[in-house]
Amino acid sequence: METVLNAARLNKYFYDPEKFQVLKDVTFAVKKGEFLSIIGKSGCGKSTLLYLLSTMDTEYEGTIEMAGTSLTGRSQDYLSHFRNEHLGFVFQFHFLLPEFSALQNVMLPGLKLGRYSEKEVEERAMEKLRLIGMADFARKPASKLSGGQQQRVAIARAMINDPTIIMGDEPTGNLDRANTENVFHIFKELAGMGQTIIAVTHDPDFAAGCDRVIEMSDGMIIRQ
Amino acid sequence: MNLHIAAEIAKTHLLAKKKQTMVAMLGVTFGIAMFITMISFMQGVNQFLEDSALDASPHVRMYNEVNTQRPGLIDEVNPGGFNVVYHQKPKDELSRLKNGITIAERIEKEAGVLGVSPQLSTQVFFNNGPIQISGTVAGVDMERENRLYNLSSRLKSGSLRTLQSNPDGLIMGATLARKLNVRVGDKVSVTTPLGTNRILRVVGTFSFGIGTVDNIKSYANLSTVQEMLQKDPGYITDIHIKMVDPLQAIPFGKRLHAIFGYHTEDWATANQAILAGENIRNVMTFVVSFTLLVVAGFGIYNIMNMTVMNKIKDIAILKATGFDGKDIVAIFLLQAVFIGLSGGILGLLIGFGLSYLLSIMPFDAGDVLSLKTFPVIFAAKYYIMGLLFGVTTTILAGFFPSRKASRVDPVSILRG
Ligand SMILES: Nc1ncnc2c1ncn2[C@@H]1O[C@H](COP(=O)(O)OP(=O)(O)OP(=O)(O)O)[C@@H](O)[C@H]1O
Ligand SMILES: [Mg+2]
């Protein structure tokens, strides 16, 4: 299987209030179609690592390579475009644009990419919503959806551009048992279709169901 | 950058907070409407005053300045000495322009000169029964004077031609005629400063719409006035000159002064009060409009800043999903531009409406000015200027919040 992500010797420091090393020589690779979860005690640096991988945080030492391209030292505009094309995010607090409908939320990254016409993007967005069982709520404003529904719409949005990797920072952290299972099954299904997924989680059951688990402690990988 | 999506997002943001959008818009609307109304009215006043002053006055007037203050002869002979001369009288100097007619003919041949009218002007008393009313009589060559001031279009009654054929004819300011209670065909007795009397017949009345002219002035034939003053037929005191381009009058006047040595006065000097008033009105218009627009600008700045603050999560999401800094700037700047444009256009309409109302509002200036309504100018350039001002203000006011939005660090927001 080809490697889609390569992180080598990642070091990250915070300087506020004092110099403090959050990540220490983190090195790992992810293969295509892998469903990976990152676990560890609170404050061990999981989110920090994920934001480095997401290309949104660019202040680090080491190198990150994704989909065959080196992302270290690239311009913000290049990284924006890369995120748009290759990455999908699901955040802990679902984060949809509240004034837009579920469908529009899913469509926006697709329209930005501009690979398909507006009409095609809409069809694809509907398809993704159907996949996660949210097709009936497509026209509803995001602000009028329940937490679990919003989370599922966010997953559909993460999928709209057929990204290389879907990343989630505790994507089920805010959900009840039933919804957590629901999201997990969606991820599992996607991974089965060859979608690479990296999820930070606190949920041992969630981690247990993954292809691979990376455990961190104090900014280091202690087990994979 | 994809403007279409940015516009779509901007629209959604604007519609989501209609009240705020309206308030920001109305700020611009008010500023622009005020600007349009003020500038249309002020420029109308300027134009009106300038026109009436320019119409009734020569571009250049050449005359002989008679100096009433002269050094005593004894001061010249014995400078610095203890010379005492009580109440010295001025020299008996004539205010005539020597060879005036020849000079006038020469000036007439110069390039850029529209017309030249040599004339003899004098103070007189018009006798109306026991009452004397002071005024002036200008002895002119009516054909030339008409070319300068277009008198035929300002006649209220009578005709210019009668004056040319009637040596005792007199054309009077309409207000003056009313005061004297005379009409065309009536006789009036005129007393010159020399004490001589002459009966002239009113053959016409005119009105420039300027009190100081219509109240005092009258025209007679040059030769008649020369006779009344007991002067020779070459005696003139003033040469009035009109140029094709009024602005040329200022250097031209200086040149004439250098050539002929006589005093010359151009319209700008003669009408300094009007021009100064014009400057003051211009400055006022711009200061008031500018202040209003700056206030509107701060309003927009505040509202846009608030919007950016409220939408900070949205900005982070958009950035996380691949929108770059330029997209974010576009989203917020478009909102500002929309506010500016719609507020501005509404302002133009209201400004036009107000100016129109002003232009039909009756305004009674009495005999002083020939005005029936407020003078208002409708010129496309003021509207273009207003819109440009409005849009520039909003873009400036929207730019800084938009830039702030584009610099939002998504990580710090999404971390929660
Ligand atoms: N902006 C920051 N400035 C300074 N220190 C920070 C900053 N963000 C995080 N840290 C610190 O870095 C460490 C790692 O934080 P991180 O958010 O990656 O933890 P985490 O593993 O995701 O924890 P949790 O499971 O609670 O989400 C923590 O000790 C935290 O206090
Ligand atoms: Mg975390």
Q: A-chain residues within 8 Å CB-CB of B322? A: 80-85, 87, 109, 112-113
Calpha distance B210→B173 (Å, rounded): 10
pLDDT in tens, A131-160: 888 899 999 999 999 888 898 899 999 999
Nearest-Cα distance to chain A for B10, in Å, is 11
Q: B319 vs A80: CB contact, 8 Å cut-off?
A: yes
Helix (H) or strand (E) run with residue B232 in it: none
Domain ranges of chain B: 3-54+274-415, 58-68+87-266
Structure tokens at A133: 């069982």
Tell me, what's the pLDDT at A12? 94
Measured in Å, residue A88 CA sits from the centre of ligand 1 at 22
Q: Write the residue in B12, B324, B415 that is nearest to A80 by C-beta.
A: B324
Q: DSSP readout, B122-172? A: EEEEEEETTEEEEEEEEEE-HHHHHHHH-HHHHEEEE-HHHHHH-TTEEEE
Q: What is the CA radius of gyration of chain B?
A: 33
Superfamily classification of domain A33-57+73-223: P-loop containing nucleotide triphosphate hydrolases (3.40.50.300)
Q: Which atom of ligand 1 approaches the CA of A202 most closely?
A: 25
d(CA A102, CA A139): 6
* Cα-based torsion angle of the residue sequence B14, B15, B16, B19 in order, rounded to the nearest 10 degrees: 80
Tell me what pLDDT residue A26 has: 93
Q: Do A56 and B411 touch (CB under 8 A)?
A: yes
Residue A84 has pLDDT above 90, yes or no: yes
The confidence band for A39, taking pLDDT boundaries of 50, 70 and 90, is very high
Residue with tokens 């060879």: B99
How many A-B residue pairs are in contact by the CB < 8 A criterion? 73
Dmax (CA) for chain B in angstroms is: 105
pLDDT band at B367 (very low <50, low <70, confident <90, very high): low
Query: With contact defined as beta carbons under 8 Å apart, do A69 and B301 qualify?
Result: no
3-state secondary structure A44-73: CCHHHHHHHHCCCCCCCEEEEEECCEECCC
Quick one: pLDDT at residue B298?
86
User: Of all protein residues, whose CA lies closest to atom 28 belonging to ligand 1?
Assistant: A43
Is-contact B359 B48, C-beta < 8 A? no
Ligand 1 centroid, distance to A59 Cα (angstroms): 15
Determine contact, residues B287/B39, Cβ cutoff 8 Å: no
Q: Which residues of B touch A87 (CB under 8 A)?
A: 322
Out of A57, A80, A91, name the one closest to residue B322 (CB).
Answer: A80
**pTM for the predicted model, two decimal places:** 0.75
**C-alpha A47 to ligand 2 mean position (Å):** 4
Neighbours of ion ligand 2 (CB under 5 A): A 47
In whole angstroms, what is the distance from residue A167 CA to residue A177 CA? 21
Compute the distance between CA of residue A73 and CA of residue A59 in angstroms, rounded to an integer: 9
Return d(Cα A132, Cα A102) in angstroms, integer: 12
Is the separation of the CB atoms in B393 and B293 below 8 Å? Answer: yes
Name the residue ranges covered by the structural domains of chain A. Answer: 33-57+73-223
Taking residue B245's Cβ as centre, other Cβ atoms within 10 Å add up to 10
Global ipTM: 0.91
Q: Could you tell me if the CB of A48 is within 6 A of ligand 1?
A: yes
- Of B35, B72, B172, B190, which is closest to residue B127 (Cα–Cα)? B190
Q: Find out whether B33 and B390 touch, Cβ atoms under 8 Å.
A: no
With bands split at pLDDT 50, 70 and 90, how would you rate the model's confidence at A104? very high
Query: Which ranges of B57-122 does DSSP label H, i.e. alpha helix?
Result: 73-77, 100-108
Q: What separation in angstroms does the CA of A102 have from each of A122, A129, A142, B333?
A: 11, 9, 5, 25
Is the CB of residue A97 less than 8 Å away from at least one CB of chain B? yes
Q: What is the DSSP string of A132-166?
A: TT-GGGTTSBGGGS-HHHHHHHHHHHHHTT--SEE
The token duo for B236 is 């003139």
| Model confidence at B366: pLDDT above 80 | no
